[in-house]
């Protein structure tokens, strides 16, 4: 009972912080520390539009009914924003995923972005389910990186070790690859194999860095505030333990 | 926002709030509702697999028709998919033939990809040397220390100090602390992402 109420309290506090920050900073958006990967992504997107090449957003194989869905939704936000940014291009982005429900949502996201851009033309084949297991997903996404005139790859979502195959393929094609995952093992291989890895919870900061809206910036600020609260509680708990009160 | 958008957003927010409340408040009605909604989600996810397979078929059939690069592989995929589907429908998913297809085709191919991954990672580690920054050097140094401390060397066996002191310290203290820090950050990220969806700010369903 108390555990449930505690959990509800954390969610409630987080919701209040996001709403408060979004309201207070509605006119002056916060500035965040520079992450070079996002700066290179912006250049990569611009170059893709200018050169008439494509953007590939790999959403991973996270299941939507598990906690992995957090990274999936971060990836879908990124896909939505990138589809809007490339709306001037006649080459719409391609999204690949390794989960059927995620694939459906990515189709919907691309369709919505196309409607906003008034492009009118939407092809269901721009969003692809390439495989249902981690390695079959990677095997199906490799030809997209190689054969679809892709110049910029964004790997964002839940990946495993197979992410290294995708970043390696992008490297061989001299294509830009931004790689981010919520999985620790994937982060390790992405750090080793990608020029532009996002480490830790930076995968959830992507929306704020690509200007996906004030709520993305507010939720990033809320994460920082909550992190400091947790650090404070941990130090306080350690001190209590040190003096023998816990 | 169009009517369709308002409708889908309202349903999504209401459903999300019911499931969330079902986790935190131990009321039988909320718990039952949560279970029912999650079961619906599982059924819908299963149906989405079928749509995904149709999508995969359409992508590769189109690739073959338009004579794009790698169309031969697309043809192989389409034919294999149809043959597997027919075998599954005729003999059933648990039949010897069907499990044989899985054990003799799917498993060896995935194992081969795992082997390719080992080569890719070794190559990536070598490429990491091109990045001359402190973190890359630290990353490689740590990986080497853990590798040497884990795998006994021929004729030497375990390296004293490295195997029994340094490697356990790196794995159980430094790595565990770092991993927990990252996991706390990831949990906070998941929380705020979920809240954005509950607020209706992020709507990956039903358009904008």
Global ipTM:
0.89
The answer to whether position A82 is within a domain reads yes
Residue-level pLDDT at A240: 94
Q: Do B70 and A143 touch (CB under 8 A)?
A: yes
Whether residue A114 has pLDDT greater than 70: yes
Whether residue A2 has pLDDT greater than 60: yes
Comparing alpha-carbon positions, the chain A residue that sits nearest to B184 is A227
Range of the domain at A109: 33-230
* Contact list, B62 vs chain A (CB under 8 Å): 125
Q: Please choose, from the candidates A90, A126, A88, the residue with its C-alpha nearest in 3D space to the C-alpha of residue A109.
A: A126
* Contact list, B39 vs chain A (CB under 8 Å): none
Nearest to A11 among B110, B121, B191 (CB): B191
- Alpha helices (H) along B66-203: 71-91, 96-101, 107-128, 134-150, 167-169, 175-199
Residue-level pLDDT at A30: 75
pTM for this predicted structure: 0.89
Residue of higher predicted confidence among B180 and B70 = B180
Residue-level pLDDT at B207: 57
Segment A179-202 shows an average pLDDT of 90
In angstroms, the CA B5 to CA B26 distance is 32
Number of domains in chain B: 2
Question: Are A45 and A83 a contacting pair, CB within 8 Å?
Answer: no
In angstroms, the CA B91 to CA B88 distance is 6
Residue-level pLDDT at A175: 92
Return mean pLDDT, chain B.
87
Give yes or no for B148 touching A (CB within 8 A). no
Give yes or no for B128 touching A (CB within 8 A). yes
* Contact list, A230 vs chain B (CB under 8 Å): 184, 188
- The 3-state DSSP class for residue B182 equals helix
- Domain end marker among B25, B46, B66: B66
* Contact list, B182 vs chain A (CB under 8 Å): 184, 187, 199-201
- Domain end marker among B15, B41, B66: B66
Range of the domain at B46: 1-66
Q: Which of residues 76-105 of B touch A (CB under 8 A)?
A: none
- Domain end marker among B66, B84, B106: B66
What DSSP string describes A31-100?
A: P----HHHHHHHHHHHHHHHHT-EEEEEEE---TTSTTHHHHHHHHHHHHHHHHHTTTSSS--EEEESSH
Please give the DSSP secondary-structure letter assigned to residue A165.
H
Residue-level pLDDT at B179: 92
Write out pLDDT tens, residues B71-113: 899 999 999 999 999 999 999 888 999 999 889 988 999 999 9
In angstroms, the CA A62 to CA A101 distance is 10
Q: Do A192 and B124 touch (CB under 8 A)?
A: yes
* Contact list, A159 vs chain B (CB under 8 Å): none
The answer to whether position B151 is within a domain reads yes
Residue of higher predicted confidence among A121 and A42 = A42
The tokens of A44 are what?
């990569």
Whether residue B152 has pLDDT greater than 90: no
- Report the range of poorest mean pLDDT among B61-65, B66-70, B185-189: B66-70
Q: Which of residues 152-181 of A touch B (CB under 8 A)?
A: 161-162, 164-165, 167-168, 171
Whether residue B208 has pLDDT greater than 70: no
Q: How confident is the model at residue A118 (pLDDT cuts 50, 70, 90)?
A: low
The answer to whether position A47 is within a domain reads yes
Q: How confident is the model at residue B66 (pLDDT cuts 50, 70, 90)?
A: confident
Write out pLDDT tens, residues B11-37: 989 998 998 888 888 888 988 999 999
Nearest to B139 among A106, A191, A230 (CB): A191
* Contact list, B183 vs chain A (CB under 8 Å): 184
The answer to whether position A98 is within a domain reads yes
Phi and psi at residue A32, to the nearest 5°: -110, 160
Give the distance between the most distant pair of CA atoms in chain A: 67
In angstroms, the CA B169 to CA B174 distance is 7
Residue-level pLDDT at A116: 66
- The 3-state DSSP class for residue B15 equals helix
The answer to whether position A169 is within a domain reads yes
The answer to whether position A21 is within a domain reads no
Q: Do B139 and A192 touch (CB under 8 A)?
A: yes
Residue-level pLDDT at A144: 92
Write out pLDDT tens, residues A61-112: 998 888 888 999 999 999 999 998 888 788 889 999 999 999 999 998 888 8
The answer to whether position A237 is within a domain reads no
Question: Which CATH number belongs to the domain containing residue A38 in this structure?
Answer: 3.40.50
Write out pLDDT tens, residues A211-220: 878 888 999 9
Write out pLDDT tens, residues B104-123: 988 999 999 999 998 888 88
User: Which residues, at least 6 apart from B201, have a Cβ–Cβ distance to it below 8 Å?
Assistant: A213, A215
The answer to whether position B74 is within a domain reads no
Q: Mind telling me how many Å the CA of B158 is from chain A's nearest CA?
A: 25
Whether residue A180 has pLDDT greater than 70: yes
Q: Do B55 and A127 touch (CB under 8 A)?
A: yes
The answer to whether position A20 is within a domain reads no
Number of domains in chain A: 1
Write out pLDDT tens, residues B160-201: 888 888 999 998 999 999 999 999 999 999 999 999 999 888
Q: Chains A and B: how many Cβ contacts under 8 Å?
A: 203
Question: Are A60 and A98 a contacting pair, CB within 8 Å?
Answer: yes
Q: Do A132 and B49 touch (CB under 8 A)?
A: yes
Residue-level pLDDT at B164: 86
Q: Do A80 and B73 touch (CB under 8 A)?
A: no
Give yes or no for A151 touching B (CB within 8 A). no
């Amino acid at each position: 009972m108390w555990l449930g109420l505690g959990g509800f309290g954390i969610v409630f506090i987080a919701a209040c912080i996001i709403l408060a920050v979004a309201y207070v900073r509605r006119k002056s958006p916060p500035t965040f520390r520079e992450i070079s990967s996002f700066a290179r992504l912006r250049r990569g997107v611009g170059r893709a539009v200018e050169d008439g090449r494509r953007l590939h957003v790999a959403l991973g194989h996270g299941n939507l009914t598990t906690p992995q869905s957090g990274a999936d939704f971060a990836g879908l936000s990124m896909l939505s924003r990138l589809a809007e940014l490339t709306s001037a291009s006649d080459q719409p982005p391609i999204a690949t995923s390794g989960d059927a429900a995620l694939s459906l949502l990515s189709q919907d996201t691309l369709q919505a972005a196309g409607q906003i851009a008034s492009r009118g033309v939407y092809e269901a084949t721009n969003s692809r389910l390439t495989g249902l297991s981690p390695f079959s997903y990677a095997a199906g996404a490799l030809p997209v990186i190689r054969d679809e005139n892709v110049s910029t790859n964004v790997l964002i979502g839940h990946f495993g070790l197979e992410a290294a195959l995708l970043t390696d393929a992008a490297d061989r094609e001299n294509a830009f690859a931004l790689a981010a995952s919520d999985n620790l093992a994937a982060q390790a291989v992405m750090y080793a194999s990608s020029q532009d890895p996002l480490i830790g919870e930076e995968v959830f900061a992507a929306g704020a860095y690509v200007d996906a809206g004030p709520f993305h910036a507010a939720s990033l600020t809320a994460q920082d505030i909550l992190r400091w609260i947790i650090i404070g509680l941990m130090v306080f708990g350690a001190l209590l333990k040190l003096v023998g009160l816990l | 926002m169009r009517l369709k958008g308002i409708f889908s957003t309202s349903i999504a927010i209401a459903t999300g709030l019911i499931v969330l409340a079902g986790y935190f408040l131990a009321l039988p009605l909320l718990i039952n509702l949560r279970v029912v909604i999650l079961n619906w989600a599982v059924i819908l996810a299963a149906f989405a697999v079928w749509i995904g397979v149709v999508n995969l078929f359409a992508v590769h059939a189109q690739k073959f028709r338009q004579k794009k690069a790698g169309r031969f592989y697309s043809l192989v995929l389409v034919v294999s998919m149809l043959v597997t589907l027919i075998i599954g429908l005729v003999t059933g998913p648990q039949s010897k033939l069907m499990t044989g297809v899985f054990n003799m085709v799917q498993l060896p191919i995935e194992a081969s990809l795992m082997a390719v991954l080992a080569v890719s990672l070794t190559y990536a580690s070598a490429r990491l040397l091109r990045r001359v920054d402190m973190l890359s050097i630290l990353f490689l140094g740590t990986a080497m220390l853990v590798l040497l401390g884990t795998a006994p060397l021929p004729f030497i066996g375990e390296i004293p100090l490295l195997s029994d002191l340094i490697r356990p310290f790196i794995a159980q203290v430094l790595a565990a602390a770092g991993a927990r820090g990252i996991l706390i950050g990831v949990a906070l990220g998941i929380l705020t992402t979920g809240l954005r969806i509950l607020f209706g700010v992020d709507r990956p369903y039903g358009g904008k």
